[in-house]
Amino acid sequence: MDRFDTHVHDVVVVGAGGAGLRAAIESATMGQKTAVICKSLLGKAHTVMAEGGVAAALSNADARDNWMVHFRDTMRGSKHLADYRMAVHHAKEAPARVRELEMWGAVFDRTKDGWINQRNFGGHTYPRLAHVGDRTGLEIIRTLQDKAVHTPGLEVFMELTVVKLFKSKDGKVGAALAYERATGRFHLFKAKAFVLATGGVGKAFRITSNSWEYTGDGMGIAYEAGADLLGMEFVQFHPTGMVWPPSVKGILVTEGVRGEGGILRNTKGERFMFRYVPEMFKGEFAETEEEAARWLAGDKNARRPPELLTRDVVARAIMAEVKSGRGTPRGGVYLDISWREADYVRAKLPSMYHQFKELAGVDITKEPMEVGPTMHYIMGGIRVDPDTEMTNVPGLFAAGECAAGLHGANRLGGNSLSDLLVFGQRAGAGAASYARGLPSTPEVDPAEVYAAVAHALEPFDRATGESPFAVMDALQEIMQANAGMVRFRDELEHAAKEIEALRHRAAKVRVAGTREFNPGWHVAMDLPNLLVASEAIALSALAREESRGGHTRGDFTDADEEKWGKTWVVCRRENGRMKVVLEPVVPMPADLKAIVSGKAEDVATKKEASA
């Protein structure tokens, strides 16, 4: 007797955030019968939390902007480890992807002339982020959600979690096993191509802006299926998370606050970011408060305030201030937007206003916010082909945060929403084309599926064993303490050893109750993926003996351009163990190299200057 329901599609997309929905829309529009499977209700995915905006060189807010400047900013922000081919696609295609959303009903904030408005953000030379107040992610997900449910040939399966992929004898992915959260019933999805769009792995850390869904599912199941993980050492700690009260520690405070003129100060009242401009960005930032104020007022000859340096730089600066005793007793610094008019703040940052008012009792139009770094994003992930987004496993594709390549060592704010749209579309097209070319669905071995179902149910059968929540809690403690913002060899080795021990504990957890909507069981099923991603983070961080972007080694504090500036770290499964492999970065052609190493003005659109 079957212990699962079977569904047959051409393309199955796992995840219904921005990347997953955009992929599914593309695949269904190309005539492929497409399923989207998501862990939550539709429209609740992590994309909904994106606040600041979507980066695209529309050149509405500043006519000097174009794809080359966006490409240059992305490569420099990535500390030269982004895959240049992805960065080119991204910079060139983002404007079309944003404008297409408008055709699907998105309503972005407008410029005075009535076009899509754009705001400033860290690392972007010109105001580039299309936005809707500070709820841009909600606008994007709602637009894609409505487009998706009205796209023929697209079917949505809500509140199902995918736990495993199965391959045919010749190595092609042909099926995925999922369980229904409400009932605990299993479902087998057969298809010719699968797109993973499962997001990141914030739940491996204690202090994070990420939700429960971020358990590294895509990375875990792709790795188990033989896919490479790339750049997993690069974890982004967002500089501004809430630090008080304790129950909200880590919740995101949008970079949009700084984009709108928010000022960072330590407890001595110093605007400390002026002291932290790295060599690479010298000369591009204001040197006095007066110049920063002029820039904000729209003076095109003034340089941007140092609060708008890239996230890795700002996060490290805040940490340094706190460690030097100039932070608040709760371990943060002050972010102040209260100098702007109250009405302006409420209009531009409405959800920040409510978030602080309701959760912390702070009125941000009157007093500063207290902020500190929070784990926010992982630049690393599943390695994909830059054009089609296929992994090294035939039939398996990935896009969005769970994929790697676009952001290198550090992601620019706003480049995530554009990443989802650009590479979601490409992955959908890649998967649909691949599926079209395949005469039949790859056959998988039913015995493997039955074994996976039995394995998933084991936690219910154990008479003794600890709670899955206890194992997740222990993992968060270990990762936060040993693989956080500043890493050392001995701590990373300790983390790797502890993760191995946790894997044994995770294999013996016990779940009480029934299979119906049982969060304990859900966590038990998430643990293997969390552990794969965590191990990859620890081992990759151990391998990279330098500091770059989101990866800071306390024992190798400098960047090593000669070796590590040209090297990618890859994790892959070999004989049941995780192996770390070093590979050379794909070198850029000379014309693109010139764009990246030259000045922004050299590639900026010139007609403005003569006007």
Partner 1 sequence: MSTDVTVKEMVARGEGSAVPAQVIRKQMAHLRVRRGGPDGTQLEDFHVEVEEGMVVLDAVHRIQATEAPDLACRWNCKAGKCGSCSAEVNGEPRLMCMTRLSDLPEGPVVVEPVKTFPLVKDLVTDVSWNYRVNKKVQPFTPREMTAEEKAKGEFNMKQADIDRVQEFRKCIECFLCQNVCHVLRDHHREDAFYGPRFMIRMASLEMHPKDGADRIPALAGEAGVGMCNITKCCTEVCPEHIRITDNGIIPLKERVADRHWDPVRWMIGKLGGK
The answer to whether 341 contacts partner 1 (rule: CB under 8 A) is no
Q: Are 187 and 180 in contact (CB under 8 A)?
A: yes
Q: How far from each other are the two terminal CA atoms of the chain, in whole angstroms?
A: 75
Instruction: Identify whether the C-beta of residue 569 lies closer than 8 Å to the C-beta of residue 510.
Output: no
The stretch among 245-253, 279-287, 372-380, 549-557 that binds partner 1 (CB under 8 A) is 245-253
Does 554 help bind partner 1 (rule: CB under 8 A)? no
Q: Which of residues 41-100 bind partner 1 (CB under 8 A)?
A: 41-46, 48-49, 58, 60, 95-96, 99
The correct pick among 8, 85, 146, 331 for binding partner 1 (CB under 8 A) is: 146
The one catalytic residue in 131, 181, 238, 407 is: 238
Binding to partner 1 in span 200-239, by CB under 8 A: 211-213
Active-site position among 206, 258, 411, 572: 258
Question: Which range binds partner 1 by CB under 8 A, 61-69, 146-154, 288-296, 447-455?
Answer: 146-154
- Tokens standing for residue 239: 């500089």
363 binds partner 1 (CB under 8 A): no
Of residues 469-498, which lie at the interface with partner 1 (CB under 8 A)?
469-470, 473
Q: How far is the CB of 556 from partner 1 (least distance, A)?
A: 36
Q: Is 147 in the site for partner 1 (CB under 8 A)?
A: yes
Largest CA distance in the chain: 78
Beta bridge partners of 378: 235
Minimum CB separation of residue 499 from partner 1 in Å reads 21
Amino acid at 497: K
Nearest CB to partner 1, comparing residues 357 and 497: 357
Question: Does position 364 bind partner 1 by CB under 8 A?
Answer: no
Q: Which of 2, 5, 107, 275 binds partner 1 (CB under 8 A)?
A: 107
Task: With both helix axes pointing from N to C terminus, report the angle between 18-29 and 136-149 in degrees, rounded to the nearest 10.
Answer: 30
What single DSSP character describes residue 533? H
Q: CB-based contacts of 411: which residues, under 8 Å, 6+ apart? A: 77, 78, 236, 311, 377, 379, 550
Task: Name the residue type at position 218.
Answer: G
Measured from the CB of residue 379, what is the shortest distance to partner 1 in angstroms?
A: 22
Residue from the set 8, 302, 360, 507 that interacts with partner 1 by CB under 8 A: 360
CB of 512 to partner 1, least distance (A): 6
Contact of 236 with 550, CB cutoff 8 Å: yes
> Under the criterion CB under 8 A, does residue 598 sit at the interface with partner 1?
no
C-alpha to C-alpha distances, 271 to 268, 305, 306, 501, nearest whole angstrom:
9, 10, 9, 45
Tokens of 187: 């479902």
Footprint (CB under 8 A) of partner 1, residues 500-519: 511-514, 516-519
* Residue 238 among the catalytic residues: yes
Taking the complex as a whole, the smallest distance from the CB of residue 470 to partner 1 amounts, in Å, to: 8
Supply the minimum distance, in Å, between the C-beta of residue 330 and partner 1: 11
Residue 383 CB, nearest distance to partner 1 (Å)? 28
Residues linked to residue 188 through DSSP beta bridges, in sequence order = 6, 177
Question: How far from chain centre, in Å, is Cα 572?
Answer: 21
Q: What are the residue ranges of helices labelled H in 336-393?
A: 342-348, 350-360
Q: Which of 358, 477, 583, 602 binds partner 1 (CB under 8 A)?
A: 358
Q: Is 150 a catalytic residue?
A: no
Supply the minimum distance, in Å, between the C-beta of residue 98 and partner 1: 9
Phi-psi region of 517 (alpha: psi -120 to 50; beta: other; left: phi over 0): left
The reply to whether omega before 528 is within 30° of 0 (cis) is no
Our finding on whether 110 is near partner 1 (CB under 8 A) is yes
Q: Rounded to an integer, what distance in angstroms lies between the CA atom of residue 5 and that of residue 596?
A: 52
User: Is 19 in contact with 439 (CB distance < 8 Å)?
Assistant: no
Based on CB atoms, which residue is closest to partner 1, 520 or 565? 520
149 interacts with partner 1 by CB under 8 A: yes
Which CB atom, from 238 or from 548, has the smaller least distance to partner 1? 238
Identify residues 112-131 at the interface with partner 1 (CB under 8 A). Answer: 113-116
Minimum separation from the CB atom of position 181 to partner 1 (A): 9
The answer to whether 464 contacts partner 1 (rule: CB under 8 A) is no
Q: Tokens 């019933």 sit at which residue?
A: 185
Tokens 């299926």 -> residue: 225
Q: Is 153 exposed, middle or buried (0-12, 13-18, 19+ CB in 10 A)?
A: middle
What does DSSP assign to residue 116? Answer: B
Of 444, 518, 447, whose CA–CA distance to 168 is shortest? 444
Q: Which of 1, 152, 246, 269 binds partner 1 (CB under 8 A)?
A: 246
Q: Which stretch binds partner 1 (CB under 8 A): 7-15, 25-33, 246-254, 538-546?
A: 246-254
Q: What is the three-class DSSP state of 453?
A: helix
Q: Which of residues 266-325 bind partner 1 (CB under 8 A)?
A: none
Residues annotated as catalytic (active site), given as ranges: 238, 258
